[in-house]
Amino acid sequence: MQKQDVPDVQNLRGRFIVIEGVDGSGISTQVVRLHAWLEERTGRKVLATKEPSEGPAGLVLRQALNKRLQGFSQEVLALLFAADRLDHVNHQIRPALDQGSHVICDRYLWSSLAYQGESAGGEWVEAINAKALKPDLTLFVRVEPEITMARIRNNRFQVDLFEKEAFLKRVLARFEHLVEKAQAEGETVAVIDGSMPIESVATAIQDRVQAFLA
Ligand code: TMP
């Protein structure tokens, strides 16, 4: 084989993996685990990132979520999340993928559809996110809000904007609908039982990502 025929693995575009779940479902912990495992497993650089991002719109959103900024309607929040998403894709996600890194993103489009879809309207939220890059794999970590709210109350002093059990139950139902719709449309989606111990959830996620990469 001539040198130029040897595929340069480092130059292949990376994979874009998204992890979603209701508040308190442990996705940030799982992103840390998956990041370490994926780098070791693939030998590639892996960017672990999250939404709201660290970009300018993301910083405004963080202040709205912890109630330092008040008075945004659900529509305004939806627009800010959509703006943050495009900016995040342009400045972090796409450049990393183009350089051959894998990207793991803690929350993405489904969070907008599940959290803002009810009051801002699902179709409109989809429309303002129409230019968002599609993930290659979406992992949905499923935990009942009774469990996640108990975790939040036990582990934190502050409860954020959307952390109310009745609301999160409706968010969970919308996530479940998104899973069904995505599966029907042939997208690559995996549902992980997030009520298991952290290590078991991490192993289940690794198994799904391993199967996806193969
Ligand atoms: P987290 O940083 O603990 O994941 O919290 C982010 C919060 O923002 C969480 O309540 C979900 C919410 N959110 C939306 O409502 N819409 C979105 O598009 C995103 C990315 C997050």
Average pLDDT, the chain: 94
Q: Which tens digit of pLDDT belongs to each residue from 92-150?
A: 999 999 999 999 999 999 999 999 999 999 999 999 999 999 999 999 999 999 999 99
Q: With contact defined as beta carbons under 8 Å apart, do 164 and 67 qualify?
A: no
Q: Which atom of ligand 1 is nearest to the CA of 82?
A: 18
Which residue's CA is minimally distant from atom 18 of ligand 1?
112
Q: Tell me the C-alpha distance between 39 and 163, whole Å.
A: 32
- Is residue 79 over pLDDT 70? yes
Q: In the structure, how many helices (H) and strands (E) does the chain have?
A: 10, 5
Q: How many CB atoms lie within 10 A of CB 146?
A: 10
* The pLDDT of residue 11: 58
Ligand 1 pocket residues where CB is under 6 Å? 23, 51-52, 65, 81, 107, 111-112, 115-116, 160, 162
- Cis before 52 (ω within 30): yes
- Looking at the whole model, is its pTM more than 0.85? yes
Reduced to 3 states (helix: H, G, I; strand: E, B; else coil), residue 11 is helix
Higher pLDDT, 161 or 131: 131
Instruction: Tell how far the Cα of 31 is from the centroid of ligand 1, in angstroms.
Output: 15
Helix, strand or coil, per DSSP, at residue 131: coil
Higher pLDDT, residue 160 or 18: 18
